[in-house]
Amino acid sequence: MRLFRLAKILSVSSRFGLDEMILEHEPSGRLAALSRIFHFWRRFDKPRSERLRLALEALGPIFVKFGQVLSTRRDLLPLDIADELAKLQDRVPPFPPEQALQQIEAAYGRPANEVFAEFDPVPVASASVAQVHFARLRPEDGGHEVAVKILRPNMHGVIDHDLALLDTMAGLLEKIWSDGKRLKPREVVAEFAKYLHDELDLMREAANCSQLRRNFADSKLLLVPEVFWDHCTTTVMVMDRMRGVPISQKDALVASGVDLSALSKAGVEIFFTQVFRDGFFHADMHPGNIFVAIDEANRGKYIALDFGIVGTLTDVDKNYLAQNFLAFFRRDYKRVAMAHIEAGWAPADTRVDEFEAAIRAVCEPIFDRPISEISFGRVLLRLFQTSRRFNVEIQPQLFMLQKTLLNIEGLGRQLDPNLDLWKTAKPFLERWMSEQLGPRAFLRNLRNEAPNWARIVPQFPRLVHQALTREPAAELAPILAELARTQRLQNRWLGVIAVLLAALLVVQYLSL
């Protein structure tokens, strides 16, 4: 199946002329000329950007998601390609209404008109793994206006084949590329596969939505839809219908009275709150999944949609990342280098002064500049070169965080090119570190552990008395017996050796 899938990828690439887009960057031009000779019959009447989008759509959901991520990187892509790939965010070709109705009947065991008071068979949005329809619940269920998300049919097989091919390519990369093992491509693919399979279970997505809504229940910055659990299955998810303007429609936002500068700063705060306060973050924050409320009560609030992919971080991860961010913001490059070594990301024998100097050379030029003047593509390239020089290992568990950071940068660049990311994020991180390491954190930890102390402390006298009066542990007896037996055996052998040495000395003496 992997070979068939590879053949399809090559066939689609040839049909849409993707090979020309790649080979045209080859300096000599010979490979591009050779390709044109072998494909002399091809004629393209569509621009390259549209052909690339159509090719990604033809190749399936994984490639569509790849295009979604690329569409936010306008500093790395030509504008025509970035604009065209942006259509993948919510304008992927939908599957037919008949299939949507079949999916609903298969999920509930009854047709849509018996489940909902109203159901629009025409989708309002179509993404790589699912599409959304508007509906209204029956009066006995509350009569709410809802959004119904329906999984695309036969998705599991397609994704499994693509992931198998990616795993094969990653294994080949490890063998033929000197940096392959350090970058852990197979582990990254495995991490990506886990998140993709999670996205195919809409009950899991509903749980993610519910958790994020609970985390931001009283937020003045973010709205999250309510989930109607009685109508959720693994293939259908029903949630509150949210009204707003897509974040990519800047003119409409301005016309509605939304302050784009404040909106961009709020986006940064929402992201850092999710990462460092909750360790639970929306990991698919491309513009198609983010709306902005424009009604009087909630004007300027973000609306989060599509919760199929979320990321989680441990307390160790959060603390490590916060220390690194703060060190970067304070230009304490020695602390950044030490944090990498202490976390085991860089070898223990790494020269701290050399690592510090290399990080300074990459980061120093970008400070005190707005996003519009920073080429993060070049920064990432130089950081990659630095990591390769010092054998820094890529951490697969942070793969989704890295992807989300790229999305956040893309959103910030679109809303406010003059946003100073450093000044916006630094106060938040300093406040978070103070809460984690300061007196309030100590008191909070005391309160959290108090229930355990109430149970354990009264037992101390009895436990101490038992420890002092207890006979040697029964489980140690066999070990002690074995040690004693081994000691006796060694003594016997030492005795035999001593006798043999004495006999040898006597023989040598008599021979004299």
Instruction: Judge residue 99's burial from the number of C-beta atoms within 10 Å of its C-beta, 0-12 exposed, 13-18 middle, 19 or more buried.
Output: middle
**SS3 at position 357:** helix
**SS3 at position 403:** helix
Alpha carbon distance 304, 227 (integer Å): 13
Tokens 């990462």, residue? 275
Q: Are 101 and 121 in contact (CB under 8 A)?
A: yes
Q: What is the DSSP letter of 274?
A: I
Structure tokens at 311: 């990321």
Nearby residues of 289 by Cβ (< 8 Å), 6 or more positions away: 89, 282, 304, 305, 306
Q: Which position among 90, 284, 306, 416 bears the catalytic label? A: 284
Alpha carbon distance 60, 234 (integer Å): 21
Q: Are 365 and 375 in contact (CB under 8 A)?
A: no
Structure tokens at 225: 């839809």
Q: Which residues pair with 311 in a beta bridge?
A: 281
Q: What are phi and psi of 310, to 5 degrees?
A: -125, 155
Alpha carbon distance 315, 437 (integer Å): 12
Q: How far is CA 447 from the centre of its chain?
A: 32
**SS3 at position 260:** helix
**DSSP string spanning 174-234?**
HHHSTTHHHH-HHHHHHHHHHHHHHHT-HHHHHHHHHHHHHHTTT-SSEE-PPB-GGG--S
Q: Are 160 and 193 in contact (CB under 8 A)?
A: no
Q: Are 246 and 366 in contact (CB under 8 A)?
A: no
Q: Are 412 and 419 in contact (CB under 8 A)?
A: yes
Q: SS3 sequence, 18-57?
A: HHHHHHCCCCCCHHHHHHHHHCCCCCCCCCHHHHHHHHHH
368 is catalytic: no
Nearby residues of 499 by Cβ (< 8 Å), 6 or more positions away: none
Greatest alpha-carbon pair distance for the chain in Å reads: 117
Q: Are 416 and 264 in contact (CB under 8 A)?
A: yes
Nearby residues of 15 by Cβ (< 8 Å), 6 or more positions away: 55
Just list the catalytic residues. 284
